Copies of this chain bind each other. A is one copy, B any other.
Amino acid sequence: MASIKHDMNDNYGLEESLQIDDQQIMSMSVKELNTLLKSMKPNDAAHIKRRRRILKNKGYAASSRNRQTSLVGNLSVERSQLVKQINQLRGDNETLSQELRGWKQRYSDLQLLTTPPTSTASQNTTTESSK
């Protein structure tokens, strides 16, 4: 058995006979639309209004999908950037660590040069202070 359904999106010639297309139905202002609808049979007017709502909804749905898509896109891009930044910082860190080691060494060397060890014990103490 088949059931009776509302007409939905099949415009079955109404719009064609009125020389109106979807774009116009959708973009017309409410004022313009009402003026137009008053010159039509109530059923046809209702049909057009319903069609307009559906068309707008279609647009909203598309926007929603686009938003969702670019949301994911943005997050992905952002992630790449953050990862890149992390790698950069890790590099900087490594560089700084090396520099730090270097200067500690230089300091230590200079210190040894400055205060030559007088005994095994004192040498140890001196080295400790610059670790």
Provide the main secondary structure of the chain A interface: helix
Name the one of B12, B86, B106, B111 contacting A1, with C-beta atoms under 8 angstroms: B12
Q: Is A104 an interface residue (CB 8 A)?
A: yes
**Size class of the A contact interface (CB-based, 8 Å):** 35 or more
| B residues near A7, Cβ cutoff 8 Å | 1-3
Among A33-41, A49-57, A92-100, A117-125, the stretch that binds chain B is A92-100
A10 within 8 A of B: yes
Q: Is A127 in contact with chain B by the CB < 8 A criterion?
A: no
A62 within 8 A of B: no
Complex CA gap A96/B103 in Å reads: 12
